[in-house]
Amino acid sequence: MKESPAKIKNTPGAIGYIELAYAKQNNLPVARLKNSAGKFVVPSADTVTAALATINVPDDFRFSVVNAPGEDAYPIAGATWILVYQKQTDPRKGRKLVEFLRWGLTDGQKFATELDYAPLPENLRTRVLKSIDTITY
């Protein structure tokens, strides 16, 4: 059964898995976990970005981040996904979509940390930008 974060928060001794932004914004305690390097790390934007920077992401961008290598990598991390049609049917909307995605991966990255999200590491960000270049409108 899936429990709500509020129920987990209000149940003594309960353990749950929620997104880092939610935990931070609701002042929930977080767990230090032992990573593959044997180091106990706290979840943060930096430790999630460190985990993403070390994994092998396939060309279709389908990946999971569990026990990534690296001294600073948090062992359970994930990414927020966006799925779009590669061939946009409305030229105006397609152009605006591409502009927004490019902004999110360039200038928009500076807002990630203040919104309690981890910015993408440069190697992954560059690959996603190249993928956006294949969207037609």
Give the model confidence (pLDDT) of 50-63 as tens digits: 999 999 999 999 89
What single letter denotes the amino acid at residue 5? Answer: P
Q: Which two tokens stand for residue 108?
A: 């928009």
Q: Which two tokens stand for residue 3?
A: 């429990």
Please list the helix, strand and coil fractions of the chain in percent, rounded to the nearest 5, in that order.
40, 5, 55
H/E element, 17: none
Q: What is the pLDDT of residues 123-134, one digit of tens each?
A: 999 999 999 999
Query: Do residues 64 and 109 both lie within one domain?
Result: yes
Helices (H) and strands (E) in the chain, counts: 5, 4
Would 4 be classed as within a structural domain? yes
Would 137 be classed as within a structural domain? no
Owning domain of residue 107: 31-132
- Rounded to two decimals, the pTM is 0.84
